Amino acid sequence: MPIHIEAKEDEVADIVLLPGNPERAKYIAKKFLDDPKLYTSYREMYGYTGTFNGVKVSVQTTGMGVPSTAIILEELNMLGAKTLIRVGTCGALKEGLEAADLLIGQSAATAGTTINSLTDDITLAPPADFELINNLYQSAIKLDMPVHVGQIVTSDYFYGKSDNYIDGLKKLAEYGVLGVEMETAALYNIAAKYGLRAATVLTVSDHVFTQVRADKDKIQQGVDRMTEMVLKTVTKLFD
Ligand SMILES: O=P(O)(O)O[C@H]1O[C@H](CO)[C@@H](O)[C@H]1O
Ligand SMILES: O=c1cc[nH]c(=O)[nH]1
């Protein structure tokens, strides 16, 4: 049994959804999964396994940021997980993105994150799994969801509001980076390390440059819609 996810191998599904927030993990398990069973609660990093449309699925909290997420991903790999999909929220960088829009992370740049230490001198740029993001994109379009696919940036700093940091994010926006969050670079790098399938789908919660944040209900509706779409798509693909 790994140190932080207190589960045995057969308790975790091949398909794992990854919210940062433990309350969201609990909520997703109870709202969307049939017969959800809690397999770990150590440090309140809740993990549940149940079924969706008859397919076994887990939902595992990553916590906030790369170090916490990296521990969880290493341990999910030890436990045999194969398809990992982050379902999170992000700040928009691109002009015109609206609250509750959906972003699919084709790749993740890094702003000062510890994941870069995986390889010396080279910053890897591992992409999402193409089949996964292609199917997620097609599903979102069919459902008429406002969806954007492209590069996102993973930062270690939520309150990095210094002029330099904001200038850096503006530069990234000029290069087409859509949004900022705190976990995907860990996901794509560790998936590459072990040959796992990975994708990140995000709901826009705020716009970084205007500092306008959507109200809680709007974010919740976006997260619900995103989660249902992800579950339907992934269980159809890999059942
Ligand atoms: O919505 P979740 O998955 O919690 O993720 C986002 O929210 C947290 C910051 O509030 C960071 O972890 C960021 O990546
Ligand atoms: O990591 C995050 C998530 C939402 N909004 C941000 O500005 N950063």
Where in the sequence numbering do the catalytic residues fall?
206
- Residues forming a β-bridge with 37: 49
Residue ranges of the chain with pLDDT lower than 50?
none
Cα-to-centroid distance, 181 and ligand 2 (Å): 5
Asked, for residue 21, whether it belongs to a domain, the answer is: yes
Per-residue pLDDT of 111-162, as tens digits, reads 877 888 888 888 888 999 999 999 999 999 999 999 999 999 999 988 876 7
Domain of residue 216, residue span: 9-237
Percent of the chain with pLDDT over 70: 99
Q: For the chain, how many structural domains are there in total?
A: 1
So what's the pLDDT on residue 116? 84
Q: What residue owns the CA closest to ligand 2's atom 1?
A: 181
The answer to whether the CB of 161 is under 6 A from ligand 2 is: no
Provide the CATH number for the domain around residue 132: 3.40.50.1580
Asked, for residue 207, whether it belongs to a domain, the answer is: yes
Asked, for residue 3, whether it belongs to a domain, the answer is: no
Predicted-complex ipTM score: 0.98
Cα-to-centroid distance, 87 and ligand 1 (Å): 9
So what's the pLDDT on residue 111? 87
Asked, for residue 4, whether it belongs to a domain, the answer is: no
Asked, for residue 2, whether it belongs to a domain, the answer is: no
Amino acid found at 109: A
Contact 87, 132 (CB under 8 A): no
Asked, for residue 1, whether it belongs to a domain, the answer is: no
Q: Is 6 exposed, middle or buried (0-12, 13-18, 19+ CB in 10 A)?
A: middle
